[in-house]
Structure 1
Amino acid sequence: MNAEPAGVRRPHTGRRRNEAARRSILDAAAELLADPAVTTITIDEIAKAAGVGRQTIYRWWPSKGAVLFEAMVERAEQMAPVRASGSRLEEIEGFLAATFASAGEARAASVLRAGVAEALRDPEATSVMKEFTAHRRAILVRLLTDARDAGELPEHCAVDLIADQAYGLLWYRILIRDAPLSAEIGRELANALISQAKMS
């Protein structure tokens, strides 16, 4: 049995989540997703990278997919939160600007590409990616719906189509075309989609 160095004690990871261990697990999951050398991700690999036992992960999450989903959602919410303002249209613009800026970072783009690659190999990862993309899309749909209900967009505004256009461009640039993603691109897209909605 390997003894820990004198004076060093791992934080207790009992049934109540220990925040340090939780952070390590989510960070490890994100690191594995971003590593191009990793072909598959297992609970054992996440546990080893996080420095915890696999039973600790299963105590808090029901599956590997649940860990990966929370890691991706948490990162997205940190990098691209919804910021309240006096205008729903400004919230839409700010959300898309933050979303495109965060996705344009090398590490974030790597995580997203790796998530898609993992989804092509693993049905559980496919479910994770579907949940993640649906979660982020639902936020934009809500913002668009709020703007429509507040009279800032026309009543007949096709919020689902606008959301698909926004995320369609995002994923196209991440996966197909080697083109920049930035806050400026997000703002330009938001303004273009809003103008399109008002003219339809």
Structure 2
Amino acid sequence: MERPHTGRRRNEAAHRAILDAALRLLAESDGAKVNIDAIARAAGVGKQTVYRWWPSKGTLLLDALTDRSEQDVARPDTGSLRTDLLHLIESTFAGAQRIPTASALRTLVREAAGDEHLAELLRTFTMERREVAREVLARGRERGELRADADLDLLLDQFYGLFWYRFLLGHAALDRRTAEELTDALLKQ
């Protein structure tokens, strides 16, 4: 069903429908190209509405993933580094495994291997997620819960390295127990 013309102002219902449709179609694509026409049709809007808000399919997919990630992965600030880090790691693991996020992320990684524009968008997405985790670690360091000379980039690489390795290869769990073990291992350094 086509939505009424939204004019120049952003219609939040149409915006949400487009983001959800983009993520769903990417997840369902199984490697097939997803285009703006299909996203617009699935969202019930005109193609011009999509292009008014996003200059390319890639920026729309990045926005859809970022939006979903912000919904699924909290920005904890409880005053305890262990509590915040555990919550962040656990919600990252859980959020990435939800439908349609899991399929969409795997498809995007697969497509990014052969598409430099998508690879750059994936780098941007991962850098945004790393920045959230960096803030948690930096606050903990400021409170003295982490060594003053702790290498935050190395800690982030260990967190996301384990995440992406297990997420993409599926050889081991990304569950609460793993989140707890990873949190404790990171805090021992």
Do the two structures share a fold, i.e. TM-score over 0.5? Answer: yes
TM (normalized to structure 2)? 0.92
Q: Work out which of the residue numbers 53, 60, 69 in structure 2 matches 1:60.
A: 53
Q: Work out which of the residue numbers 90, 101, 104 in structure 2 matches 1:111.
A: 104
Question: Which residue is 1:134 aligned to?
Answer: 127
Question: Which residue is 1:29 aligned to?
Answer: 22
Q: Which moved more, 1:171-180 or 1:66-75?
A: 171-180
The DSSP-based 3-state class of the residue aligned with 1:13 is coil
Structure 1 stretches lacking a partner, 5+ long? none
Shift of 1:83: 2.3
Q: State yes or no: 1:85 paired with 2:78.
A: yes
The DSSP-based 3-state class of the residue aligned with 1:111 is helix
TM (normalized to structure 1)? 0.87
Once superposed, which parts of structure 1, at least 4 consecutive aligned residues long, lie more than 6 Å away?
none
- Contact kept, 8 Å, 1:91 with 1:143, in 2: the verdict is yes
Give the residue type in structure 2 aligned to 1:182. Answer: D
Q: Deviations over 1:77-122 (max 9, x none)?
A: 1111112212133211111111112223353321210110121233
Q: State yes or no: 1:45 paired with 2:38.
A: yes
Q: Work out which of the residue numbers 159, 166, 180 in structure 2 matches 1:166.
A: 159
Shift of 1:123: 2.5
Question: Which residue is 1:120 aligned to?
Answer: 113
Give the residue type in structure 1 aligned to 2:160. Answer: Y
Which structure would you say has the larger Rg?
A: 1
Q: 1:93 to 1:37 in 2, by over 3 A?
A: closer
- Once the two structures are aligned, what percentage of the paired residues are identical? 45
Q: State yes or no: 1:150 paired with 2:140.
A: no
Give the residue type in structure 1 aligned to 2:69. Answer: A
- Contact kept, 8 Å, 1:83 with 1:91, in 2: the verdict is yes
Structure 2 stretches lacking a partner, 5+ long? none
